[in-house]
């Protein structure tokens, strides 16, 4: 395994690809400031995750839901800090694909990129179908495809348009979540928050892995490294701000819903926030919760397409994806072919299969992605190592605590990627770690 430490290789001139780095920094237009980066992170994290992840997490953890949320938050914090430090050194599109390639070697960068693209493509289709199921359940697939087409068109028009739409989405979702917390808080019972009864440790870890799905959106900030102004300062500021706001919101919502419904009712709920509003005597809020969930899913889908297309762009530049996907639109300064390709694949998935149960599979892929990010951060400085080790251990623990079907599916997809990498290298024995 190739490891590099100390000062950034790019700054030191030791990377063998400086010409590519200069080209990459000129390809995409840097238009996003701290506020825009924070909003894009919030748009991804405050999406459908909080609406759909609470019930399956409660089924796994029972009364241990809040400790599970805390564990997920700690792992997310470690990952966020690792990603922010790496993004400051490597302000290019691709996120951990770039960090793994530069710090650990090409194979590890490829594995991170593969895990992210495949896992998050499934998440895109799941979010699109979530939109369809809320807007028009009888025609969920058709609405999902329409949502994918519309948001792909928005992204095609430039990242500024995407950031503007995300601001609107985040405002709507925050308003809905705040309304639920305020309306339902008075109906909650503190004893329902107690850690009573049998709390299986494995169930708490599994719930933390599922809840991590809702936290993982801060990666979108780092994958947009080429479109952020002054990335060395902007990204390390934007990532913890977005994560901190999300943690406060999630904690408030989780405590409120758990106190109103209790662990058993929450575990059996198909729409926890709507059920909490009904139980609190605020049935008038239910239509707004439905709208908030649909809009939140749109926000997640918008930022997911952004992130997957930028990682696809970075992999195409290195030959791990078809070369035409590395093209950048001369006017809009976006990876238009990558965006169209991602949109087409997601639209086909949304039209033909139901992948809304893919939370565990997506979480596994993203935990592998962040595991590689932490391993990459470990090579930076000695000061970074304790947090990186904690993050790496947390990712491994949560990944293998997920439902067995998710672990098997994720491992199988990673294996397919490894075989594809080996074939591209020429022969299996030439795989360079």
pLDDT digits (tens, 9 = 90+) for 280-328: 999 999 999 999 999 999 999 999 999 999 999 999 999 999 999 999 9
Contact 98, 92 (CB under 8 A): yes
Q: Is residue 21 part of a domain?
A: no
Residue 341: strand, helix, or coil: helix
Average pLDDT over residues 165-188: 94
pLDDT at position 20 over 50: no
Q: Is residue 57 part of a domain?
A: yes
CA 385, CA 395: separation in Å to the nearest integer?
Answer: 15
pLDDT of residue 6: 39
Q: Is residue 247 part of a domain?
A: yes
Write down the mean pLDDT value for the chain: 87
pLDDT of residue 48: 65
Q: Is residue 169 part of a domain?
A: yes
Cα atoms found within 13 Å of the Cα of residue 247, Cβ hemisphere only:
18
Q: Is residue 11 part of a domain?
A: no
pLDDT of residue 79: 93
CA 100, CA 206: separation in Å to the nearest integer?
Answer: 26
Domain carrying residue 332: 29-430
Average pLDDT over residues 387-413: 92
Q: Is residue 24 part of a domain?
A: no
Q: Is residue 417 part of a domain?
A: yes
Query: Number of structural domains, the chain?
Result: 1
pLDDT at position 427 over 70: no
Q: Is residue 1 part of a domain?
A: no
CATH code of the domain in which 294 resides? 1.20.1740.10
Distance from the first to the final alpha carbon of the chain = 5
pLDDT at position 10 over 60: no
Residue in 428, 426, 173, 120 with CA at minimum distance from that of residue 293: 173
pLDDT at position 8 over 60: no
Q: Chain centroid to CA 120: how far?
A: 7
Contact 289, 273 (CB under 8 A): yes
Q: Chain centroid to CA 50: how far?
A: 13
> What is the value of pTM for the model shown?
0.85
pLDDT of residue 363: 83
């Amino acid at each position: 395994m190739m490891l590099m430490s100390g000062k950034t290789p790019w700054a030191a001139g030791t990377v063998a690809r400086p010409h590519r780095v200069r080209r990459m920094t000129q390809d995409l237009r840097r238009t996003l400031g701290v506020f825009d980066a924070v909003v894009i992170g919030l748009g991804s994290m405050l999406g459908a995750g909080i609406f759909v992840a609470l019930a399956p997490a409660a089924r796994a953890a029972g009364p241990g839901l809040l400790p599970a949320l805390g564990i997920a938050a700690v792992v997310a914090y470690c990952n966020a800090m690792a990603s922010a430090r790496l993004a400051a050194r490597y302000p290019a599109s691709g996120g951990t694909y770039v960090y793994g390639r530069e710090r650990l070697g090409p194979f590890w960068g490829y594995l991170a990129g593969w895990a992210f693209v495949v896992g998050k493509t499934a998440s895109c289709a799941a979010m699109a179908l979530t939109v369809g199921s809320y807007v028009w359940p009888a025609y969920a697939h058709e609405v999902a495809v329409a949502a994918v087409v519309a948001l792909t068109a928005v992204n095609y028009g430039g990242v500024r348009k995407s950031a503007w739409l995300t601001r609107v989405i985040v405002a709507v979702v925050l308003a809905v979540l705040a309304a639920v917390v305020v309306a339902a808080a008075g109906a909650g019972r503190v004893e329902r928050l107690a850690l009573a009864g049998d709390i299986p440790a494995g169930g708490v870890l599994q719930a933390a892995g599922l809840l991590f799905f809702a936290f993982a959106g801060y990666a979108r900030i780092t994958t947009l490294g080429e479109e952020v102004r002054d990335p060395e300062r902007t990204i390390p500021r934007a990532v913890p701000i977005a994560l901190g706001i999300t943690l406060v919101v999630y904690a408030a919502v989780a405590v409120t819903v758990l106190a109103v419904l209790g662990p058993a009712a929450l575990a059996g709920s198909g729409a926890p926030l709507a059920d909490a509003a009904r139980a609190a005597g605020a049935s008038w809020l239910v239509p707004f919760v439905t709208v908030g969930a649909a809009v939140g899913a749109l926000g997640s889908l918008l930022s997911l397409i952004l992130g997957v297309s930028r990682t696809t762009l970075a992999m195409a530049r290195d030959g791990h994806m078809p070369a035409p996907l590395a093209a950048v639109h001369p006017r809009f300064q976006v990876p238009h072919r990558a965006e169209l390709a991602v949109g087409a694949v997601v639209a086909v998935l949304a039209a033909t299969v139901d992948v809304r149960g893919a939370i565990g599979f997506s979480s596994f892929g993203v935990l592998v992605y962040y595991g590689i990010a932490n391993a990459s951060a470990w090579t930076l400085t000695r000061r970074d190592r304790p947090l990186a080790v904690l993050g790496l251990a947390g990712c491994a623990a949560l990944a293998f605590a997920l439902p067995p079907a998710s672990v098997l599916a994720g491992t199988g997809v990673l294996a397919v990627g490894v075989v594809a990498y080996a074939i591209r290298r020429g022969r299996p024995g030439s795989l360079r770690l």
